[in-house]
Structure 1
Amino acid sequence: MNWISKIFKALFWAVIFIAPMYVVWIFERVYSKDPPLWINSVLGLLSVWVFLSVKKELKWAFGFWVGILWFYWIGFSFEYFGFAYLIPLIAVAVACIYMVILALSLWSEDLIYRGVWLLVLSYIHPFGFDWLVVDSFFAYSYFGVEKYEFALIILGILLLKRVEWRIFGVLSLAMALDIASAKTEGVPFDVELIESHYSQDFKWQRENARAMTEELVGRIGEEIGREKSLIILPETAFPFVIEGSAYFERLRELSKKATLVVGSMRRGEGGVYNSIYVFANQKVQIIDKVILAPFGEKIPLPQWIAKYLESVFLGEGGVKILSGNAFGEFEFGGEKIRAVVCYEGTSPKAYELAPKYMVVISNNAWFGSSIESSLQKNLMKYYARKNHTTILHASNGSRSFVIFP
């Protein structure tokens, strides 16, 4: 097999492997709804089969293509810092990191070796970035998402590859089914999830801030007029420090009629916090973002390197994003609701103690029409099912929706 043939064969298998993620993206973009569960049930099984079956001589090319297809969008935000030319370089660098990880996992064609790697891949977090979760391929499927259920799926595919053991493979897959996941529950709140579609360059222009903010305040008034009792706005809906501004007092006044959950910033020592403001009965609770996105909000490198890179990309007068101390919750309708910001909604740490309800606010305009928002949605569905959490997600730049466990 020559090297050109290897590259295209690896691409073919990589496309099949990553297909469950793109199905979520297609249904989100084209149909504005979740994919039918049967599609990713089948494609998820096919992904596991591909991983167990791909020839080891394709391991480097396969790993690279998977890295590109899964994470090509990571550098898109650099466009807004004046470094758009770095986007393809970042995509290749990220793909190379995952190429190494996946090449190691495919080093041997021994099925047990690969099965074990499939189980542990979700624990490998380069630079703290924890989105390589193959288990999440089954988030929108009839199969369960617990680790033991993923192990049963892997075992089932392994046994199906042996003619004499196929009946046991079918039984193993049957044991991994979780038909209850197909049921849709309701939300006991009269909630409105505000969806907006301001581009990131528009949001960052000072001259646009007032018009955008006035529009959002107007939408809050409209939803109060419709007697909504809980109104949730996206991350940095107000892209400035809201405390001390006239809008702060206006929102407090509006909170007489409804509870408002608003994304904005809070000034701290040496920087700002990416925060959630909860306005209820003219009282205000502030919840700061705890888990910052690697490279987007923090640089997970030694301090001397991180400080230098911050000066390069942000400039000497750049604003540093600070990290909060603990996850926060607010009370509404007799329930405690955990409130997190964007990347936190895809972190298992945010789901500690399995909150019954969670508000996630996002600004996905950083990544345009890429697959990023669908990857985020898929991971939130995965953790919602694992922790029996109902997620209320309000977003700018992508669809707002409710995720049921």
Structure 2
Amino acid sequence: MESKNKKNNKDSKNSLHKPNTNILESLLSNTIPPNRFYGILVGILCAVFLSAFIYLECFLDEKNFPLYSTIFAFLGFFLYFKLPRLGAFICGGCIGILWFYWVGFSFRFYGITYLMPLVWVVFFVVYGALFYVFCFFKNPVYRLSSLVLSSFIHPFGFNWFIIESVLVKSYFFPSKFTLFLFLFGIVIFSTLLTQKLYKTSLVWLVLICFILPANSQMQQVEQPLKIKTTRTEIPQDLRWQSEQLHTIIAQNHKIILEAIQANYDVIILPETAFPLSLNLQPQLIHTLKSLSQDITIITGAIHQENNHFFNSAYVFTKGDMQIFDKHILVPFGETIPLPRFLATWINNFFFNGAEDFSIKDSTTPNFTWINGQRFQIAICYEATRDELYANSPKNLIAISNNAWFIPSIEPTLQKLLMLYFAKNHNTRIYHSSNASPNFTLP
């Protein structure tokens, strides 16, 4: 009898130290228990939920209803406050992959495909470390503040991790202020669940939906100009081959003539639609100037000055030509954001001696006037940078070449980020691209 009682006492003591194995109960409590399996699982789920808005838009397109993004955003942010440090690292690492796995795809065109896994490791570690810091303390105020401020952190100058963009297709307006209110509401909801006030928590959840700023449609301002955006389909491994040049120029010429026949005022061709140093082609310039008597032509091409090469936009209107060089280059794509000697070594060793694009010192975004209207001009990556929207332009022309990253979710993420900026600055964006959809926002 005595031995049996000792056994029962031993089992009772063990049960006091045994971690809670019911994950649902853990989620309803204040924090996730220190269990590695739960930490990893919740980290993965959190990353999937916070990445769902990209994949919903990519695969559902017009059938991507706001309800889906709203539900996934709520689940993702709810789990964020439950993450242990290990789970936070896993969550951040998975977000780095789910959002940016495509970055290394450009390596295919330099014969260094074997380095793609290294890119994935870098993104996993960098964003994993960021989320580890965001969740270093359990204090919800600390975690809320860290996440709201996270979009100001740009590893290597790459700013495409904007956490409030998770709301861009939801019922709620995608701004930092809305994100703050949303997260604050989730903290209160989680606290109510912890105290087992289930009915009150549901009432509060409904109340949140009415408190948060709505993601209403942008005002459709009638545009007096008839503007045509375009999409081309030239594979990246062919567009710079000299034998393809005549075909590409002929195709661009045909697109311009069709726009003239359709009575468009402006036609926008993609980034480097003319894959050459256009300013050194007097005959082609003469042709485009002649065509610009009937339509304003905006196109991407290279601008060469001595030994400097610029990724540029050319504007032809009424026989005149303007050149606008890109100000903000893509990190590790158009420039290596490292000390000069390291950048030179990387270009020589991995990119066959290719030179970084040059930039001209200027803090003012490029813009042009067309029929009395001001249009800001952005080349690819620039269209997702705060600097281009600092003055909240009414109109922005964006040109891209996404053939580097096809097939992937990169064009979808780019569009969602453009929509985020368009909504926050009430800007209408006209986007033309190679290898991805053209569109006008809104």
Report TM bin, short chain.
over 0.9
TM superposition shift of 1:207: 1.0
Specify the code of the residue in structure 2 equivalent to 1:320.
Answer: D
TM superposition shift of 1:320: 3.1
Q: 2:109 aligns with which of 80, 88, 97?
A: 80
Q: Write the deviation string for residues 324-374 of structure 1: whole angstroms up to 9, x where unpaired.
A: 334211112321000110000000011111100000000000001111111
| Contact 1:275–1:288, Cα closer than 8 Å, also in 2 | yes
| Contact 1:156–1:173, Cα closer than 8 Å, also in 2 | no
| Contact 2:271–2:433, Cα closer than 8 Å, also in 1 | yes
Listed as ranges, the matches of 1:372-391 within 5 Å are 372-391=410-429
Q: Give the whole-Å Cα distance in 2 for the aligned partners of 1:225 and 1:175.
A: 50
Residue in 2 that maps onto 1:21: 54
Q: Give the whole-Å Cα distance in 2 for the aligned partners of 1:192 and 1:280.
A: 15
Q: Give the whole-Å Cα distance in 1 for the aligned partners of 2:352 and 2:130.
A: 34
Q: Give the whole-Å Cα distance in 2 for the aligned partners of 1:63 and 1:130.
A: 15
TM superposition shift of 1:286: 0.9
Q: Give the whole-Å Cα distance in 2 for the aligned partners of 1:34 and 1:230.
A: 31
Specify the code of the residue in structure 1 equivalent to 2:379.
Answer: V
| Contact 1:153–1:172, Cα closer than 8 Å, also in 2 | yes
Residue in 2 that maps onto 1:44: 73
Residue in 1 that maps onto 2:305: 268
TM superposition shift of 1:186: 4.6
1:297 is paired with a residue whose SS is coil
Residue in 1 that maps onto 2:335: 298
Q: Give the whole-Å Cα distance in 2 for the aligned partners of 1:188 and 1:50.
A: 47
Specify the code of the residue in structure 2 equivalent to 1:81.
Answer: Y
TM-score, with length taken from structure 1: 0.92
1:79 is paired with a residue whose SS is helix
Q: 1:211 aligns with which of 238, 243, 247?
A: 247
Q: Give the whole-Å Cα distance in 2 for the aligned partners of 1:118 and 1:364.
A: 29
TM superposition shift of 1:189: 2.2
2:216 is paired with a residue whose SS is helix
Specify the code of the residue in structure 1 equivalent to 2:407.
Answer: S
TM superposition shift of 1:270: 3.2
Task: Indicate whether 1:154 and 2:183 are aligned.
Answer: yes
Specify the code of the residue in structure 1 equivalent to 2:315.
Answer: V
2:278 is paired with a residue whose SS is coil
Q: Write the deviation string for residues 69-100 of structure 1: whole angstroms up to 9, x where unpaired.
A: 11111111111112111111112112211111
Residue in 2 that maps onto 1:227: 263
Q: Give the whole-Å Cα distance in 2 for the aligned partners of 1:62 and 1:43.
A: 15
2:314 is paired with a residue whose SS is strand
Residue in 2 that maps onto 1:257: 294
2:121 is paired with a residue whose SS is helix
Q: Relative to 1, partners in 2 of residues 1:54 and 1:70: Cα closer, same or farther, differing over 3 Å?
A: same
Specify the code of the residue in structure 2 equivalent to 1:188.
Answer: P
Q: 1:175 aligns with which of 211, 217, 220?
A: 211
Q: Give the whole-Å Cα distance in 1 for the aligned partners of 2:387 and 2:234.
A: 30
| Contact 2:326–2:379, Cα closer than 8 Å, also in 1 | yes
TM superposition shift of 1:135: 0.4
Q: Write the deviation string for residues 227-258 of structure 1: whole angstroms up to 9, x where unpaired.
A: 11110000000011112322221111100100
Largest Rg, 1 or 2: 2
Listed as ranges, the matches of 1:332-343 within 5 Å are 332-343=370-381
Q: Give the whole-Å Cα distance in 2 for the aligned partners of 1:56 and 1:306.
A: 35
Residue in 2 that maps onto 1:244: 280
Specify the code of the residue in structure 2 equivalent to 1:240.
Answer: L
Q: Write the deviation string for residues 184-213 of structure 1: whole angstroms up to 9, x where unpaired.
A: 555432111111111100112221121112
Q: Give the whole-Å Cα distance in 1 for the aligned partners of 2:436 and 2:60.
A: 13
Specify the code of the residue in structure 2 equivalent to 1:215.
Answer: Q
Q: 1:136 aligns with which of 165, 173, 176?
A: 165
Q: Give the whole-Å Cα distance in 2 for the aligned partners of 1:206 and 1:363.
A: 18
Task: Indicate whether 1:69 and 2:98 are aligned.
Answer: yes
Q: 1:282 aligns with which of 310, 319, 325?
A: 319
Q: Give the whole-Å Cα distance in 2 for the aligned partners of 1:122 and 1:345.
A: 16
Higher deviation after alignment, 6-15 or 271-280: 6-15
TM superposition shift of 1:4: 6.8
Gaps of 5+ in 1: none
Q: Give the whole-Å Cα distance in 1 for the aligned partners of 2:48 and 2:215.
A: 27
Q: Give the whole-Å Cα distance in 2 for the aligned partners of 1:47 and 1:334.
A: 46
Q: 2:387 aligns with which of 343, 349, 353?
A: 349
1:53 is paired with a residue whose SS is coil
Q: Which has the higher contact order (CA 8 A, sep 6+)?
A: 1
Specify the code of the residue in structure 2 equivalent to 1:254.
Answer: L
Q: Give the whole-Å Cα distance in 1 for the aligned partners of 2:215 and 2:38.
A: 41
